[in-house]
């Protein structure tokens, strides 16, 4: 079969019938932006089909890129730990990213995360919108500024509005908090502990809404 060409939107790669498995399979061949050349593979969302909560991060990291699964690296482990502390079972959730390929630049032998640009975010957005439409969560949680601003607009500030439940056309509520990787990047242990505690508090607020 000839390779599909893209007009710059992931929608060009959509399967005829929309389901999470068919979208995941189709996304594996997505070339709607240049990030497919840099990442090892597409890292599609994963989780419960009708999850009440859908978490969105920015993009897969190094370990996610290698394993093909979202939120399995150091930030994913911190995320799991915080979810457990808040009494939320990850197996009852759906987790995904705004952008499905790992964008990175070399630093010595390491691959360092590079923020996706607006064109890459908009090219990838149809995958995210399709995931949201199929999962139909009660609450979407944006993890970090990229996810929050993709969903809530460029003026949204996680630092000022984290933990608020905002009505939306995508789901009854969207809440934003920090991305767990930002906690890992805290400058010292005390700040890291404090940020971890604030993250768990945001997730506890979420747990109360989900009851």
Q: Coil, strand, or helix at residue 173?
A: strand
Nearer to ligand SF4, 19 or 119 (CB): 119
Query: Considering the complex, what minimum distance in angstroms separates the CB of residue 18 from ligand SF4?
Result: 16
Query: Considering the complex, what minimum distance in angstroms separates the CB of residue 10 from ligand SF4?
Result: 5
Nearer to ligand SF4, 30 or 200 (CB): 30
Nearer to ligand SF4, 101 or 179 (CB): 101
Range list of H helices, the chain: 20-27, 62-67, 74-86, 118-135, 145-152, 158-161, 180-184, 189-210
Q: How far is residue 90's CA from residue 64's CA, in Å, rounded to a whole number?
A: 17
Query: Considering the complex, what minimum distance in angstroms separates the CB of residue 91 from ligand SF4?
Result: 25
Nearer to ligand SF4, 37 or 155 (CB): 37
Angle at 82 between CA 42 and CA 210, to 5 degrees: 90
CB 192 within 8 A of CB 198: no
Query: Considering the complex, what minimum distance in angstroms separates the CB of residue 133 from ligand SF4?
Result: 17
Site of interaction with ligand SF4 (CB under 6 A): 10, 27, 30-33, 35-36, 42, 99-101, 120, 123-124
């Amino acid at each position: 079969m000839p390779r599909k060409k893209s007009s710059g939107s992931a929608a060009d790669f959509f399967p005829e019938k929309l389901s999470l498995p068919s979208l995941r399979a189709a996304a594996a061949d997505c070339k709607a932006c240049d990030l497919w050349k840099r990442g090892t593979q597409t890292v599609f969302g994963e989780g419960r089909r009708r999850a009440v909560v859908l978490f969105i991060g920015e993009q897969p990291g190094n370990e996610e890129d290698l394993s093909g699964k979202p939120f399995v690296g150091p930030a994913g482990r911190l995320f799991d730990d915080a979810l457990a502390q808040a009494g939320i079972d990850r197996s009852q959730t759906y987790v995904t990213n705004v952008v499905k390929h790992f964008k990175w630049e070399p630093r010595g032998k390491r691959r360092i995360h590079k923020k996706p640009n607006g064109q890459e975010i908009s090219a990838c957005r149809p995958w995210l919108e399709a995931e949201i439409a199929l999962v139909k969560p009660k609450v979407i949680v944006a993890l970090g500024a990229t996810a929050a601003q993709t969903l809530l607009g460029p003026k949204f500030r996680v630092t000022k509005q984290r933990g608020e439940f905002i009505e939306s056309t995508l789901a009854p509520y969207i809440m934003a908090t920090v991305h767990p990787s930002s906690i890992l990047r805290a400058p010292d242990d005390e700040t890291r502990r404090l940020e971890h505690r604030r993250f768990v508090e945001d997730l506890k607020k979420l747990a109360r809404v989900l009851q």
